Every structure is written in structure tokens, then in C-alpha cells.
A and B are shown apart, each in its own frame.
Chain A
Amino acid sequence: MSIRINLDVMMAKRKVSLNELADKVGITQANLSILKNEKAKAIRFSTLEKLCEVLECQPGDLLENK
């Protein structure tokens, strides 16, 4: 897939750990690491919305087309 996920970059910028982010977003750590390692096949809008809320960014900061 050519869609890359820059979640780790955003997490480093905001200085949040995986555990903390999973707690705040309300998904399991396993699912979050699936997303972070680009193994996910789809992402729900609700998850994306919460991620953007917690990380205070736009969806475009998290997703990138290469």
C-alpha cells in the first residue's frame, strides 16, 4: 500500500507513549501497534477523529500518500 502512517512521528512530537495514547484514544494497545506498524487494512473515522483530538493535529499529519 502506498498510504503511509506517520503516527510515530506525531507521537514523538507530542511526546506521548503508545500506552498513554491507547488509554486516551480508547483502543487497545495491540490495535494501536497494528496501526503504527502499518499492518492495518482500514481505519474507522471515529478512531481517526479521536487520534486527531488527542494528538491535536489534522488527519493529513497522520496519513501520507507515497
Chain B
Amino acid sequence: MTKNGNLSAKTIYSLLSIALGMNIGLLLIIIFMLFSSFFSPGVIRYFSNIPVLINFNNGLGWKMQNGDLINMHGSLKLANSYYGINLLISICQMLILLGSVNCIILLRKIVNTVIAGDPFVPQNGKRLRIISLIIIFLPIIIQLNVWVATKQAISALQYPRWGIRFDFLDNSSLITYIVIGIFVFIVSEVFRIGISLKEEQELTV
């Protein structure tokens, strides 16, 4: 390993440490807000967005013209008294942060092995596989949770709710996560096979 490569690995390691600290801080803020919401039921939670799509073309006889507003993305913010929905959203946020904390810790360990000079160890293959599984499955779980929360939030609205529905468009990044996760999974499999080849090579006398 050249000195330059080691330096960049150390830079990445310190950046990952900063990201880890920020994630843990956000996690603590969310836990604090969830805890405090039980003591302030009337306050509106500005921290939690529930993504919705507001559709104006709602079959009520609206005659569409050129340049008409058809739909728009928005977010619902509920008061703290909707404990169940807010709890679901908080759980989603916590799951995202826990997943990213987990990924960052694993990445830091991988970068550590790079700094030590030998990243081709069996543990790194396992770490990459865990990261890929988190990237693939965590967004799916979160999407399901957000979907349930949005359904509940829309049914809790006081005013007429024609055309307000769960925002699929805003969550189209789900497919991106899955593709990235599959990519990382393939890399981890290649890594695993490479490591076993290297071990065999090393144990050949």
C-alpha cells in the first residue's frame, strides 16, 4: 500500500466517523421527540413528514385546460396526539438511522482493514453482504410502514380528502436502493470467491 492510498483511506475513515456521529445525534433527537410527544399532545410535529400526492383531477367534473395544475407532492404533519401514526413514522426514521449506523460501522471496519494493508479477509465479504442486505430490505420495510402510516393519516384528516393519496412518485427511489443493493451483493459474492481463491493460493506449498 502506497503512502498516498493510506492517506485517502484515513480521510475516508474520518469522514465515516463524522457521519456516524451525526447519525447517532439524529437518532437521539428522534428518541427525544418521541418521548416528549407524550407530554405535548397539541403540538404539531414538524420533524415528521408523511408523503402524500394531492390529485386535483379527481373526477368531480373539473374541466382540464392547458397549464392546469393536475397534482402536487406534499407532506402531512400531524399533531402529537396521533400517537400511533407518529410512532410508526418515528420507527421508520429510527430504522433508517439504525441501518445507516450499522452500515457505517461495517464500512469503517472495512476501511480499517484497508489501512492495515490487507482488505482481503473473509470478514470483509460477510460485512459487504450484510450492507447489501440492509440496502435492499430496509427501504422495503420502511416503505410498507410509511404506506400504513399514510393510509391512517389520510383517514384521520378532518377536511374533505378527495384525491389525497400515498405518494408513490416521491418514493420511486426504492427501486434505486434495490439496484444499488443488488450491485453491492454481487460485489460481495465476487469478494467472497476471490478471498477463497487467495486463501487456497496462500496454503499451497
Contacts and interface: CB of A to CB of B under 8 A. Distances in A.
Contacts of A39: 203
Interface residues of B, number: 5
Nearest to B200: A41
Contacts of B203: 34, 39-42
A44 interface: yes
B155 interface: no
A28 to B, nearest CB: 9
A21 to B, nearest CB: 12
A42 B199 CA distance: 11
Interface string A9-46: 00000000000000000010001101100011111100
A58 interface: no
Nearest to B203: A41
A40 B204 CA distance: 6
Nearest to A41: B203
Interface of A: 27, 31-32, 34-35, 39-44, 47
Interface of B: 199-200, 203-205
A-B interface, 8 closest residue pairs, ranked by CB to CB distance from nearest: A41-B203, A42-B204, A35-B205, A40-B205, A31-B205, A41-B200, A43-B205, A40-B203
